[in-house]
Amino acid sequence: MAKRDLTKLCTYARQHGALHAKIIEPSSVVASPWVRFKCQFGCDGYGECLTCPPYSPTPEQTRALLSSYQRGILIRGGDHVDITQLAYQVERKAFLSGFYKAFGMGSGPCRLCATCDVTEPCKNGMEARPAMEAAGIDVFQTVRNNGFSIRVLTSHQCRDNYFGLILVD
C-alpha cells in the first residue's frame, strides 16, 4: 500500500467536509469495555439501532479487527458534516481504489432510517456503519494518541468535535 494512495484518500476526505484527515497506525486506537457501559448507562439510544450496542461489535471484536490492519485514516468532521456518512464515502473510495479490506466507522447513532427495526436485518446495510464508541473505541484517547485535541461536547451544535475512522489495507 503506497502512502501516496492514502494521502489521496485524506485529500478526498477533506474535499468532502473533513476538517482534518490523518494516516494513523491501528495500534494507536484504544478499545475498552467501559466505553460500551457509557452507551448502556448514559445514552437514550441504547438498543435502538443495529449499529449501536448491544448489536454493535464488542471491544474484544474491535481489537481483533484492528489487529488485522496496518493503516487507518482518522478524520475530524467539520460544520454540518455527517461524519459517519463521510467515513462510509471514504471507505467506498478506498475500496474502489483497490483497498478491498477498507472499513469505516463514524460517530453517534445511525441516521439512515427514522427508526430501526432491530428484529430485522438492516435495510441500509451497505451504508450503515457503527460509531467508533459503539464498537468500544475510546475516542478521546484515540484522538489524543494521534495528535488531535478533543473536548467534551456541551451541545449538539459543536460539529467539529466528531471523528471517524477508516481502516485501510
Residue 44 is predicted with a pLDDT of: 86
With contact defined as beta carbons under 8 Å apart, do 72 and 23 qualify? yes
- Residue 93 CA: distances (Å) to CA of 28, 72, 79, 98: 23, 14, 22, 9
Indicate the burial class of 149 (C-beta count within 10 angstroms; 0-12, 13-18, 19 or more): exposed
- Delimit the domains of the chain by residue range: 3-168
Closest listed residue to residue 168, CA positions, set 90, 110, 78: 90
| 3-state per-residue secondary structure call for 100-167 | CCCEEEECCCCCCCCCCCCCCCCCCCCCCCCECHHHCECHHHHHHHCCCCCCCCCCCCCHHHCEEEEE
Residue 154 is predicted with a pLDDT of: 79
Residue 151 is predicted with a pLDDT of: 83
CA angle 31, 146, 3 (to 5 degrees): 105
Give the strand pairing for 163-168 and 71-77: antiparallel
Indicate the burial class of 153 (C-beta count within 10 angstroms; 0-12, 13-18, 19 or more): exposed
pTM of the model as a whole: 0.93
Beta strands in 9-117 (DSSP E): 18-24, 71-77, 103-105
Mean pLDDT by runs of 10 across the 169 residues of the chain is 84 95 98 94 91 96 97 90 95 96 94 93 95 96 95 71 93
Return d(Cα 74, Cα 164) in angstroms, integer.
6
